[in-house]
Amino acid sequence: MSNEKILVTQSSMPPYEEYIEAIKPLWDSHWLTNMGMYHQELEEELKKYLDVPGLSLMVNGHMALEMAIQAFGFPEGAEVITTPFTFISTTHAIVRNRLEPVFCDVKLSDGTIDETKIEDLITEKTAAIVPVHVYGNVCNVEAIQKIADKYNLKVIYDAAHAFGVKYRGKGIGNYGDASIFSFHATKVYNTIEGGAVTFSDHKFYEKLYNLKNFGIRGEELVSDIGANAKMNEFCAIMGLCNLKHIDEAIAERKKRHACYMERLANVEGISFFEKKDEEDSNYGYFPILIDGSGEKTRDGVYEELKRHDIYARKYFYPITADQACFRNKYRNVKLHNARMLARQVLVLPLYEKLDMEKIDQIVKYI
Ligand SMILES: *Cc1c(COP(=O)(O)O)cnc(C)c1O
């Protein structure tokens, strides 16, 4: 077959004419950013789609997480319990807020933070928990909330992978004190670059508004010390366009997900993360675990696919705690499961337009 490169994902885009038509009014208005009408419209639409009471659009998912953490005003040096089995952004957002990450191991079953190990890590300095719904796998939100309530901690979910995921019929952004989403080009839903914070406390909207727009509240009034993290109108329009097609995109992903699952179900040495019954997935990723008991190791499969121009990804390897910038800097915690998953995991290509025949090919090479 063709020699085209197959990457782990491909950005969703609306039909060209649809986007061009949608951005035309910007040439009349000359209003390109600063919380314009499309920014406002997208906030409203996303609140509906994500089924959340409050939402603030941001320039990207990382800044959404930085701002969400900053909005709580934790004292400098306070400890934040988090997972190392994630994209580096999660840990960066904590450290860049001058807080101390305390890594907690994850569960082998779904890669999310092991809620049974959180309590042992709590000290007088603990201020928050930052778990990740990794690959859209829902954390044990009930148990985490119970711990947070008992010790008076805030919970901020990194839901960057979980756009459109529901748990017990509720949008995933309703859990914890706040959640962040990423609308990066590589995610299930994109605004080219973009992100959002979701929350239920309405005061939070004002705080985030200040943080994302220099704290400017009037022509001559700056009431808060803010950064610049607002989304521009071109991105907001991309978001409005992509939102029209998101259900269809997720349905297409679901078909491909099922196709992989069926073909890989009985392959020796390969296993999968578990999903909870009460969880509605967005089929954002197709991670497999290769334990090395079969013919090839994870790295062997990765290389074999690469030889055929198929670029699977070792998400997330190494774990963030082992990255050069963080290694041996923070409290030494046993992270056996996280490291094991990082050695075994391979994310296979999955996107709405991925050829079904390509999936057969990928499976054959595996
Ligand atoms: C993508 C991602 C982010 C950062 O989002 P950006 O929009 O790329 O800034 C944060 N956390 C996780 C887990 C991610 O995958």
Distance 237 CA to ligand 1 centre (A): 20
pLDDT digits (tens, 9 = 90+) for 292-325: 888 889 999 999 999 999 999 999 999 999 999 9
Which residue minimizes the CA distance to atom 13 of ligand 1? 87
Is residue 2 predicted with pLDDT exceeding 60?
Answer: no
182 lines ligand 1 (CB under 6 A): yes
Within-domain flag for 149: yes
Q: Nearest CA to 228 among 58, 43, 61, 21?
A: 58
Which residue minimizes the CA distance to atom 5 of ligand 1? 61
Q: Select from 240, 270, 297 the last residue of a domain.
A: 240
Within-domain flag for 295: yes
Within-domain flag for 193: yes
Together in a domain, 230 and 337: no
Task: Give the per-residue pLDDT at 296.
Answer: 86
Together in a domain, 203 and 258: no
Together in a domain, 221 and 127: yes
Stretch 103-127: mean pLDDT: 98
Please give the number of the atom of ligand 1 that sits closest to the Cα of 60: 7
**What global pTM score does this model have?**
0.97
Distance in angstroms (rounded) separating the CA atoms of residues 114 and 7: 31
Stretch 146-173: mean pLDDT: 98
**Please, what is the average pLDDT of the chain?**
97
Distance in angstroms (rounded) separating the CA atoms of residues 343 and 340: 5
Instruction: Provide the 3-class DSSP secondary structure of residue 154.
Output: strand
Instruction: Supply the angle between the helices 61-71 and 203-212 in degrees, to the nearest 10.
Output: 120
Stretch 108-115: mean pLDDT: 98
Within-domain flag for 5: no
Please give the number of the atom of ligand 1 that sits closest to the Cα of 90: 11
Within-domain flag for 104: yes
Q: Select from 240, 273, 295 the last residue of a domain.
A: 240
Together in a domain, 110 and 144: yes
Cβ of 34: how many Cβ atoms within 10 Å? 11
Distance 62 CA to ligand 1 centre (A): 6
Q: Nearest CA to 195 among 346, 80, 341, 61?
A: 61
36 lines ligand 1 (CB under 6 A): no
CATH code, domain carrying 114:
3.40.640.10
- For residue 1, name the pLDDT band (cuts at 50, 70, 90): very low
Together in a domain, 194 and 62: yes
Please give the number of the atom of ligand 1 that sits closest to the Cα of 89: 10
Together in a domain, 162 and 210: yes
Q: Nearest CA to 317 among 61, 180, 134, 117?
A: 134
Q: Select from 240, 268, 284 the last residue of a domain.
A: 240
Stretch 19-34: mean pLDDT: 97
Dig out the tokens for 128 from the structure: 């928050």
282 lines ligand 1 (CB under 6 A): no
Together in a domain, 210 and 67: yes
Together in a domain, 255 and 229: no
Stretch 102-115: mean pLDDT: 98
Is residue 3 predicted with pLDDT exceeding 80?
Answer: no
161 lines ligand 1 (CB under 6 A): yes
89 lines ligand 1 (CB under 6 A): yes
Structural domain containing residue 73: 16-240
Which residue minimizes the CA distance to atom 7 of ligand 1? 61
Task: Give the per-residue pLDDT at 269.
Answer: 93
Is residue 145 predicted with pLDDT exceeding 60?
Answer: yes
Stretch 23-52: mean pLDDT: 98
Please give the number of the atom of ligand 1 that sits closest to the Cα of 195: 7
